[in-house]
Structures are given as structure tokens and as C-alpha cells.
Amino acid sequence: MDKISLLIAAVTFIASLLTFFLALQSELKRDRTELIDAIQNNEQRHSAHEQEISVMQERLANVELIISYRLDEISSKLENISDKFFEHIQETHR
């Protein structure tokens, strides 16, 4: 009877160890999957942010061009007004 009890205890211990290692393996696999998913999500967010930055840089460049164009227009109009003003002053002093 002692040998049978010892055999049952050994089988129970081995089954417990096997269950523990299977549970540990399952937990590690789940953690690995979660980590891979988190890395992929982070890469996707990073890529999306890079795209947003690229769009913002493009918009900024366009705004700079528009501002430059408008400043050139304003400068031209101011020069025109200045020329007309000096012409008017010269005509009134003749």
C-alpha cells in the first residue's frame, strides 16, 4: 500500500508540475501576444503622427508661400501709392 500511495503522490506531483508549466507557458504566450500587439499599436500611432506632422509641414509651407505672395502684393501696392503720392506732391509744387 505504501508503494501505491507513493506512486499516486508522484503521479499527482508530476501532474501538478505539468499543469503549472502549461499554465505558465499559456501566460507567457498571452503576455508575448499582448506585448507584440502593444508594439504594433505604438508603431501605427507613430506612423500616424509622422503623417500628421508631414501634412502640417506641408500646410505650413503653403501658408508661408501665401504670406510671402500677399506681402509682395502689399509691397507693390505701397510702392505704387508712394509713387503716386510723390507725383501728386511734385504736381502741386509746380
User: What local confidence, expressed as pLDDT, does residue 91 receive?
Assistant: 83
Q: pTM value?
A: 0.54
The pLDDT tens digits for 32-73 are: 999 999 999 999 999 999 999 999 999 999 999 999 999 999
Distance, in Å, from the CA atom of 77 to the CA atom of 83, rounded to the nearest integer, reads 10
The model's confidence at residue 1, banded by pLDDT at 50, 70 and 90, is low
Q: Among candidates 63, 83, 64, 87, which has minimal Cα distance to 75?
A: 83
- List, in order, residues 6 or more apart from 6 with CB less than 8 Å away: none
